Amino acid sequence: MARAAGHRRRSERRRFLKELARLAAVAGLAGLGLAGHGRAVQARPAQALRPPGALPERAFLGACLRCGLCVRACPYDTLRLATATGPVAPGTPYFIAREVPCEMCEDIPCVAACPSGALDPGLRDIDKARMGVAVLVDQESCLNWRGLRCDVCYRVCPLIDEAITLEPQHNRRTGRHAIFAPTVHADRCTGCGKCEHACVLEEAAIKVLPERLARGRLGRHYRLGWEEKAKAGGPLVPGLIDLPDRVPGGMP
Amino acid sequence: MRRMPGRAAAERRGWLAAHKWLLARRASQAAVFGLFLLGPLAGVWILRGNLSSSVVLGTVPLTDPFLLLQTLLAGHAPELTALAGGALVLAFYLLLGGRVYCAWVCPLNPVTDLAAWLRQRLGLGGGGGRLDPRLRWALLAAALGGAALTGTALWELVNPVSIVQRGIIFFLAPAAWVALAVFLFDLLVVPRGWCGRLCPAGAFWGVVGQAAVLRVTAPHRERCDRCMDCYAACPEPQVIRPALEGPGAPLVASGMCTNCGRCIDVCPQDVFRFGTRFHGKTMTAGLPGGREETT
């Protein structure tokens, strides 16, 4: 009698464990599939920019509730929600600068509307937003680089003369004119996309890219000699002989 | 003639009485989405956002606790707004039954209800059992574990529930394909397959519902003549038997009950009522077939 009960209990336990293992296997497989999909989605297309104050992509995908309150709060209909079939994680907000750029509202209503903090409420100055970095991706088609005075990207920049400057240089094609090269300063650029939106070319020569694509980074061990010298207040190697620099003839 | 659950009740008590909870649910679903759509369509912002998170009249936050749990597990510390909204919604469903969300709010409910109804009309059989209903626990574990391991809200990448509700409120057309896929799955592949077997959100609300106050009770279970209409109409038929046949109180105790009230509607003998978990406990109604309750 007791043996039969023990036997039944054991076989019940065995069945329970078997079912538990089956469910765990299904959970594992589902999780694995999802995780693979999740990684693919994290490589968001470069032209899809996140709203101001968005956390780094991975953290953003963990924090965003997909409620669309930022989209509703945007007065210029810049932001939209990703659809279920697009390349951007479904339900998350993004904008395409070439279509509708960010107008950089001073009160940042999208950030104020975010209930979760996926758009960082610590962002109070829209000039500190980093939605991406503008890059003049194609000098060859840029009108200013061809010696014309288009200047449109420079003129529309909300941080004119800070985020984009015009750097004059010699025009070697005509020999006697200047090229006013539009130059982006990444430390000031918010990535609003006004320049990309306004570029007069059929395909914009200046584009806002996510920071990971737009920027290079110096190796951490790297030191710039002249900066170190200024910091130390003199040459780092004492008694170094300073030979005259060889410059091409005619240069000062 | 195929026996459709509800026909006998309608003949006995009138069509309206045999459909009152069904109509109330459709009205509730329409009202929720109507209030959200009043904003973009008419500029009247009573509800702003969507079912994942919203703001009532610009002041009261509401947040989906299941989604909030995923973001918490993903390692994000949400703002107070989202936490308060989650607490409010959780309190609401603890009162009315976790899966009240499924039956009274979720936009996939009319879709899967339609599939189930068509299945009965077309005689496609309600057998099923081809998918273990416990699969939803595996998917719930995958959704929560996945969030914890990857640091992102993984389930939200594919969650048909949030894709469809968002699609309705924000006019995102591809959501229609997702709804259609769920419909065809329920109609042709597995009866009650999505809501009853797979959906991890339903599983989550089922856990909440385990503790909920509002319950379907069977105060007149002695009248039951085993016509089986309630089982045929119920989206989670396994929850009915204990209430109807005992042992124990005449009370649907399982959190998996969606409080849809369909059993109340379709019962020709008027066995069921909405009640609370407390008053069911003290009732000692006789069991069908003259057996006496032993507890």
d(CA A30, CA B294): 44
Question: Does residue A56 sit at the B interface (CB-CB below 8 Å)?
Answer: no
- Give contacts of B178 with chain A, Cβ < 8 Å: 84
Task: Identify the closest residue of chain B to A70 by CA–CA distance.
Answer: B49
User: Which DSSP string corresponds to B70-117?
Assistant: HHHHTT----HHHHHHHHHHHHHHHHH-TTHHHHHT-THHHHHHHHHH
pTM summary value = 0.84
- Subunit contact A84:B167, Cβ cutoff 8 A: yes
Which of A66, A74, A88, A120 should we substitute to test contact with B (largest number of B Cβ atoms within 10 Å)?
A: A66
A31:B145 CB<8 A: yes
Contacts of A62 in chain B (CB under 8 A): 71, 74-76, 147, 150-153
Residue A18 contacts B, CB cutoff 8 Å: no
CA-only gyration radius of chain B, Å: 20
Q: What residues of chain B score a pLDDT lower than 50?
A: 1, 282-295
Contact A31 B142 (CB under 8 A): yes
The pair phi, psi for residue A206, each rounded to 5°, is -110, 130
CA distance B129 to B132: 6
User: CB distance B79–A65 less than 8 Å?
Assistant: no
Q: Stretch A68-83: mean pLDDT, rounded? A: 94
Sign of CA dihedral A222, A225, A229, A231: negative
In sign, the C-alpha dihedral spanning B78, B82, B87, B93 is: negative
Q: Residue B175's closest chain A neighbor by CA? A: A84
**A150-196 confidence digits (pLDDT tens):** 999 999 999 999 999 999 999 999 999 999 999 999 999 999 999 99
Confidence of residue A234 (pLDDT cuts 50, 70, 90): confident
The angle that helices B80-96 and B200-209 make with each other, rounded to 10 degrees, is 70
d(CA A209, CA A195): 12
| Structure confidence at residue A1 (pLDDT) | 55
The larger pLDDT score, comparing residue B290 to residue A24, is at A24
Which residue of B lies nearest to A28 if distances are taken between CA atoms? Answer: B142
pLDDT for B237-290, tens place per residue? 889 988 888 778 888 889 999 999 999 999 998 899 998 888 655 444 444 444
Closest CA of chain A from B76, distance in Å? 6
A115 has pLDDT over 90: yes
Pick from A28, A89, A117: CB nearest B157:
A89
Q: Chains A, B: CB contacts under 8 A, how many?
A: 162
